[in-house]
Structure 1
Amino acid sequence: MTFSQHGTRRLRAAVAGVALVALAALGISAPAQAATPAAAAAPLEQWTGWAPLPGGGATPDSPAAVSYNGTQNVFVRGTDNAIYRNVLSAGNWSGWTLVPGGGATTSGPAAVVFSGALNLFVRSTDNAIYRNVLSSGGTWSGWSAVPGGGATLAAPAAVVFNGALNLFVRGTDSAIYRNVLSSGGTWSGWSAVPGGGATPSAPAAVVYSGALNLFVRGTDNAIYRNVLSSGGTWSGWAPLPGGGATTSGPAAVVFNGALNVFVRGTDNAIYRNVLSGGAWSGWVPVPGGGATLAGPGADVYSGSLQVFVRGTDDGIYRNVLVP
């Protein structure tokens, strides 16, 4: 497939007036005045450009990536709704293989490393949330329902914070819910994330500067953030500076001490907004052009920022920012 070239077309930015509507859509009181900062010029960076992942394969959804035991693991929902894995180790890709345990999903997967094991989460065909754990010895646990019941209409998101695994989903009412697995092995059960809000897509979560940062697509297609401090207090939902809009769930990753957020633009191009030194860069297109029909995935592996997308041909593509 040849990626569509979007050049330097910017993400369709929401100006201050739209930002106020966005706040209302999440049920948040708007400030007296709202301003959208101008996007900063992108620093000179070396991206590899988009290339298909070795092994072929196709997906109708967003990919997920996680580094584990010195390898890069990419997971996708197959066109048959099964869950597949492709592993990069010592410069070579394994090719796509079925995740042991069977199972099926109607959304993209999520993956995180917790207590030395790779934890894989999916939305099942019955909308329940399931987990499959890969031990350091290479054995999969098989799929089991996450305790606490619950249901979701999109892919889950998972992150480790303060020594606990935090799992987030979009509920069937489009609210955002959280279930926490302690280091002792006990799940908290599902509870609504404070601040209200609603999303039509999958959330994204990452730890940055000692706080848990949760991102969602609002019902107005703007991008919002809610921050959980180490003390246990949520900031409430606020739109990301720079405006912008997306038609899929975001992705977030910390790279070189900066918080990187990636989205699919309303033109299907891939955009990035970076928080560094307390200031956001504003949305800029990821170099290399390209287009996607789902939310991106991102991870840091071997000192490089790796972005994965579903191409317009349903192939899986990667673009790498080399430090």
Structure 2
Amino acid sequence: MNYCNPTWNNRGQLSATDIRGANLFYGLRTASAVGAASLGQRLYVFAKGLDDNRIYHMSAASGRPFDPWVEMPGGGLTEDAIASASLSNRIYVFIKGMDNRIYHTSAADGQPFGGWVEMPGGGLTEDSIAAASLGNGIHAFVRGMDNRVYDNFAEDSQPFGGWFLIR
């Protein structure tokens, strides 16, 4: 990479491939948006890239070193914290997109993540998301644009429903 001359090589700007390569070599520079969850004997860590708002993940089996950082599939971007939780044999990841909509993705144990899907119900938030599993279900919580707290729930291996006001 030669970025000393601003009229050459992308006018001095790193390409997405350059950023990924630097992250692999030097380690990902992350912002404060970090989340983690365990699934089986594996620990997953999620982070927002400091320079690009992309979402990355790494994982490690119990007692083993972490794999390198890898960008989450689907091109999701966020400026906020990343929420994650596991249920049964799936790990779920939730973000507030750059458009204030709430998105999620998931992966079965040992499988790759899918792309980002908007949560049903059309919810919007200006804040980070919280997630937790309980019994046979997984919950995503947000502060709505009306400053009230909402919950979107899915039973194991079922789609999420709409947003419900928590009273």
Q: TM-score range by the shorter chain?
A: 0.7 to 0.9
Q: Does 1:212 align with 2:106?
A: no
Q: How does 1:1-323 map to 2 (within 5 A)?
A: 149-172=27-50, 173-276=52-155, 278-287=158-167
Offset, 1:220: 0.6
Distance 1:267 1:187 in 2: 40
- Code of the residue aligned with 1:218 in structure 2: it is G
TM normalised by structure 2 equals: 0.76
Alignment gaps of 5+ in structure 1: 1-147, 288-323
What secondary structure sits across from 1:267 in the alignment?
A: coil
What letter corresponds to residue 150 of structure 1 in structure 2?
Answer: L
Identify the structure with bigger relative contact order (alpha carbons < 8 Å, sequence gap 6+): 1
The share of aligned pairs that are identical, in percent, is 34
- How many residues are aligned here? 140
Contact 1:159 1:165 in 2 (8 A): yes
Corresponding residue number in structure 2 for 1:75: none
Aligned residue identity for 1:250: I
Report the Cα offset of residue 232 of structure 1. 1.1
Other structure's SS at 2:33 match: coil
Question: How big is each residue's C-alpha offset from its partner over 1:40-73, in whole Å with a ceiling of 9 and x where there is no partner?
Answer: xxxxxxxxxxxxxxxxxxxxxxxxxxxxxxxxxx
Residues 181, 238 of structure 1: CA spacing in aligned structure 2 closer, same or farther, 3 A cutoff? same
> What letter is aligned with 1:170?
K
Higher-Rg member (1/2): 1
Unaligned runs of 5+ in 2: 1-25
Partner in structure 2 of residue 92 of structure 1: none
The one-letter code of the counterpart of 1:198 is L
1:231 is displaced (CA, Å) by 4.1
Q: TM-score, normalised by structure 1?
A: 0.41
Cα offset, 1:196, TM superposition: 1.6
SS at match of 2:76: coil
C-alpha RMSD over aligned residues = 1.7
